[in-house]
Amino acid sequence: MELVCPAGNYPSLVKAVDNGADAVYIGLQNETNARHFAGLNFSEKQIIKAVDYAHTKNCKVYCAINTYPKEKSWARWTNSVDQAIELGIDTLIVADIGVMDYIRSRSNDFPIHLSVQASATNLHALNFYHQNFGIRRAVLPRVLSLKQVSQLAKTAPVEIEVFGFGSLCIMAEGRCYLSSYLTGQSPNTKGVCSPAAFVDWQDKGSILESRLNGLLIDRFSENENAGYPTLCKGRFEIEGKIEHALEEPTSLNTMDILPDLHQSGIAAIKIEGRQRSPAYVAMVTKSWRKAIDHTIRSGNPVPQKEITALADLAEGKQTTIGAYERSWQ
């Protein structure tokens, strides 16, 4: 079972590699990837350095080109594909059918991993991408139960990668337009969700308000932990009640079910968080390396204290197994 870790910049990549990642995933400095944040991602020079460093330590480098190009800006995506391949990237993580088609027009066998943004949640969807583009692996959206994931891992024509830890997207990825409804910018088109440029914090004395493009996402009293206003994790009013209408500010942690994932034949565990610090990447990578090695060696559950320690690093310091567990759904 491969450990795939995030790197938003070169120092994070070094931390991921040094702490035991089998592969690191990165993005270019434009909207071709789903973490198009200011100050993040890799220039051409940095990619050369990154590939060189990772390869000397036997770690692979994947590049996410996983947003959806509009026709007018198509060339930016093909240029990014060309650049990534020429700079020695091992695998491209892709969502758009047109981009996959372009990669196959260049090469019959350059490795393609289907991005979570392609939202493939069943066997026939995976067959589609396998037959048409020869994808090697698919990253599954965070909407399937453990039973469904296990079933897919057994029957799919490709390797299966699942999210293990990090921010929890509760919608089928690639099919959520909530961010552009509010701000005009979405993961699909701009590689952003609830973009920072639209965030406004307003201190109203004992209450702190978070807004996205003017719309109130949440209100925090002084003793509350005020999280980033990701639009699906705020408190809203439904039928007279104020509640986390869609989801609480919680993170995904699947360490509890790691032996099950391993037994199902999952090929890789992905850690979310290219936007997080090098120190965070180091700690999470180290902890997951240890957990995976423990699972492969013993087949036993990961000790609870390891799992709890990891929860402290999570957004809102709250974690869940998410959709893997039916009761969450």
* Segment interacting with another protein, rule: CB under 8 A, options 3-11, 165-173, 258-266, 275-283: 165-173
Q: Which is nearer to another protein, 217 or 258 (CB)?
A: 217
User: Residues in contact with another protein, total (CB under 8 A)?
Assistant: 71
Q: Does 221 bind another protein (CB under 8 A)?
A: no
Residue 119 Cβ vs another protein, minimum distance, rounded to whole Å: 8
Instruction: State the Cα–Cα distance between residues 192 and 202, nearest whole angstrom.
Output: 22
197 binds another protein (CB under 8 A): no
* Measured distance CA(271)–CA(236) in Å, rounded: 29
The one-letter code for the residue type at 166 is G
Find the binding residues for another protein in span 33-52 (CB under 8 A).
none
Residue 208 in contact with another protein, rule: CB under 8 A: no
Binding mask 166-185 for another protein (x = CB under 8 A): ----xxx-xxxxx-xxxxx-
Which residue number, 55 or 219, has a Cβ lying nearer to another protein?
219
**What is the footprint of another protein within residues 106-145 (CB under 8 A)?**
118-125, 127-129, 131-132, 142-145
Measured from the CB of residue 289, what is the shortest distance to another protein in angstroms? 29
The tokens for 277 are: 């610090």
* Residues 242-301, interacting with another protein (CB under 8 A): 242-243, 245-247
Instruction: Give, as ranges, the residues between 57 and 86 that touch another protein (CB under 8 A).
Output: 68-72, 74
Q: What minimum distance in Å lies between the beta carbon of 102 and another protein?
A: 7
How far is CA 109 from each of CA 85, 126, 133, 278, 312, rounded to the nearest angstrom? 12, 17, 9, 33, 42
85 Cβ neighbours under 8 A, 6+ residues apart? 92, 106, 107, 110
Do residues 280 and 166 make contact, with C-beta atoms less than 8 angstroms apart? no
Q: Give the whole-angstrom CA distance, residue 93 versus residue 173.
A: 14
Which of 173, 168, 159, 150 lies closest to 2 in space, CA to CA?
159
| Beta carbon nearer to another protein, 56 or 327 | 327
Binding residue (CB under 8 A) for another protein from 188, 254, 264, 319: 188
**Nearest-10 Cα torsion for 275, 47, 126, 161:** -60
Say whether residue 318 binds another protein (CB under 8 A): no
* Residue number with CB closer to another protein (210 or 295): 210
Q: Strands 137-139, 241-243: parallel, antiparallel or unpaired by DSSP? A: unpaired
